[in-house]
Homo-oligomer: A and B are copies of this chain.
Amino acid sequence: VSPPPTLAALFSTDPIDRARHSIGRSYRDVIRGIRGELGATVDAVVRPTSEADVVAALDWANDAGVAVIPFGGGTSVVGGVEPTRCEDYDGTISLDMSNLDRVLEVDDVSRAARVQAGVLGPALEDQLRPSGLTLRFFPQSFERSSVGGWLATRAAGHYATRWTHIDDVTESIRAVTPIGVWESRRLPGSGAGPSPDRMLLGSEGTLGVITEAWLRLQPRPVHRARATVAFATFAEACAAVRAIVQSGLDPAACRAIDGDEARITGTHPDGAAVVVLGFESAHSPVDELLARAVECCADFGGAVVDGSAAAGGAGDAWRSTFVRAPYLREWLVLLGVLTETFETAMTWDRLPAYVEGVRAATLDAVRRVCGAGLVTCRLTHAYADGAAPYFTVLAPARRGSELDQWAEIKAAASEAILAADGTITHHHAVGRDHVPWYSRQQPEPFRRALQEFKNEVDGSGILNPGVLGLRV
């Protein structure tokens, strides 16, 4: 690719830079990174310093027939940033948004902020801190992922009840498309036709490059209480989570963890299933709310093993492991452990059978492929009508065969999910990896019409080719 002189200063063709932008953070990515077998890499990394640069880069790419992969923090675990299915283009660039990293405006009356898409989680919160407000949106990738990435992939935060997905805190979005700027009005609510924001949310870079958004903020919490409650079985822990979220209590955190995962993460040394509970408020003490949630747990045989408003204890062990998990994984992989996660969602009526069915199908595949292994489960997000089960696979990998091994396990898990009417993803997005299952999950008229929608805003099909299964 040869950029026009006006854009040349934004282009990097450094091989390491290009390689780092051509790979995400899935097990498959880690293995390929270790092996140095990335496959195709982008031809250049382009770093706009303004929205005008984004417009100029898209105009140039559109004319030159160059594919454009929007890049936020690069934490995709579904092949969202890699240049496969870009082979038919006259080149591929990674559009790295990291220079657009400012909070442009804080409206402390409406409690909202206008934020550039490239800002990562910690830098966002740093810039909001003087206002006393917070987005309070903490996906597991928080430290390395960007606002634009959250919006494009419908990320979910880990204050994981009530407002879970970034969708819920989005007031308006601004994006650059090949046919012009797409900007919605800043509104607290609207019933004027289908929501334009909801089409960009989940578009994963295929409909436009998100440059800014107005996001809803909240005051920083000052009251906190938490507890860890142990159960005889994971099913009872899940039932307690259901009772709590259906009670109108709105815990900030309410997560069920099965025995194996509790033991591995140090949340419960003897491997009892647990529920980790947290309440937070900016307005009033939450101890009574916690006490009522603990009562719900007791109805299902749950006993508090650790509960306090102070630091320390099992909840902390879990939190700390949770945040460190993605980093730890790279070490496990080096030690020859196949380690990957997948996640889905289901209504409560079918959840127990669903969790056990998906787990069993996955474990079958693990044993067939690896000889032995473990499939653990936690509920990461809970709703009044259902929850999001999150599975972790741990198994001995065969060096050199890791990718094939994981592909076979992933296919077995995904088929079980699809067959039981689940979703192929609750918050990891579709990317390129999930396309075979996502395509079957979409209502067919919607799938066809989404393609035509895409064709209108991106007639040359330069935006993130292959993602969501969209064709040129």
Contacts of A425 in B (CB 8 A): 190-192
- Residue A185 is within 8 A (CB to CB) of chain B in the complex: yes
Chain A window 258-288, contacts with chain B (Cβ cutoff 8 Å), 1 for yes, 0 for no: 0000000000000000000000011110000
Instruction: Provide the bound-state CA to CA distance between A441 and B195, in Å.
Output: 12
Contact A198 B194, CB 8 Å, known A111-B384, A248-B283, A457-B449: yes
Query: What residue in chain B is nearest A454 (Cβ atoms)?
Result: B449
- Residue A99 is within 8 A (CB to CB) of chain B in the complex: no
Is the interface on chain A under 10, 10 to 19, 20 to 34, or 35 or more residues? 35 or more
- Interchain CB contact under 8 A, A179 and B110: no
Contact A345 B188, CB 8 Å, known A179-B448, A193-B204, A201-B195: yes
A68 to chain B, nearest CB (A): 16
Contacts of A164 in B (CB 8 A): 189
* Beyond A182-B446, A193-B203, A208-B445, 19 extra complex contacts between A and B, CB < 8 Å: A110-B349, A177-B445, A181-B445, A188-B385, A189-B345, A189-B426, A191-B423, A192-B202, A192-B425, A193-B204, A193-B438, A194-B198, A194-B199, A196-B446, A199-B199, A248-B281, A449-B457, A450-B453, A452-B455
- Interchain CB contact under 8 A, B179 and A445: yes
Chain A window 418-435, contacts with chain B (Cβ cutoff 8 Å), 1 for yes, 0 for no: 000111111111100010
Instruction: Provide the bound-state CA to CA distance between A446 and B456, in Å.
Output: 9
22 contacts between A and B (CB under 8 A): A107-B349, A111-B246, A154-B191, A155-B191, A156-B189, A156-B191, A165-B189, A171-B347, A184-B443, A186-B347, A187-B386, A188-B388, A189-B345, A189-B427, A190-B425, A192-B423, A192-B424, A192-B434, A199-B446, A448-B457, A449-B454, A449-B456
- Interchain CB contact under 8 A, B247 and A283: yes
Which listed residue (B153, B423, B430, B445) contacts A457, Cβ 8 A?
Answer: B445
Contacts of A186 in B (CB 8 A): 347, 421
- Residue A442 is within 8 A (CB to CB) of chain B in the complex: yes
- Interchain CB contact under 8 A, A443 and B196: yes
- Residue A468 is within 8 A (CB to CB) of chain B in the complex: yes
Instruction: Provide the bound-state CA to CA distance between A331 and B109, in Å.
Output: 42
Contact A110 B386, CB 8 Å, known A208-B445, A442-B196, A443-B184: yes
- Residue A378 is within 8 A (CB to CB) of chain B in the complex: no
A52 to chain B, nearest CB (A): 17
A459 to chain B, nearest CB (A): 10
- Interchain CB contact under 8 A, B199 and A426: no
Chain A window 142-166, contacts with chain B (Cβ cutoff 8 Å), 1 for yes, 0 for no: 0000000000011110000000110
Query: What residue in chain B is nearest A194 (Cβ atoms)?
Result: B202
Instruction: Provide the bound-state CA to CA distance between A434 and B190, in Å.
Output: 14
Instruction: Provide the bound-state CA to CA distance between A325 and B203, in Å.
Output: 43
Contact A430 B193, CB 8 Å, known A248-B282, A444-B182: yes
Instruction: Provide the bound-state CA to CA distance between A132 and B49, in Å.
Output: 57
A453 to chain B, nearest CB (A): 4
Which listed residue (B154, B184, B385, B442) contacts A110, Cβ 8 A?
Answer: B385
Which listed residue (B188, B191, B200, B284) contacts A347, Cβ 8 A?
Answer: B188
Instruction: Provide the bound-state CA to CA distance between A153 and B153, in Å.
Output: 26
- Interchain CB contact under 8 A, A183 and B282: no
Query: What residue in chain B is nearest A168 (Cβ atoms)?
Result: B168
A125 to chain B, nearest CB (A): 19
Query: What residue in chain B is nearest A153 (Cβ atoms)?
Result: B191
- Residue A346 is within 8 A (CB to CB) of chain B in the complex: yes
Contacts of A246 in B (CB 8 A): 111
- Residue A218 is within 8 A (CB to CB) of chain B in the complex: yes
Contacts of A191 in B (CB 8 A): 153-156, 165, 202, 423, 425-429
Contacts of A456 in B (CB 8 A): 445, 448-449, 451-452
- Interchain CB contact under 8 A, B208 and A202: no
A340 to chain B, nearest CB (A): 18
Which listed residue (B195, B345, B442) contacts A202, Cβ 8 A?
Answer: B195
Contacts of A442 in B (CB 8 A): 192-193, 196
Chain A window 346-358, contacts with chain B (Cβ cutoff 8 Å), 1 for yes, 0 for no: 1111000000000
Most B Cβ at <10 Å: residue of A386, A422, A442, A444: A386
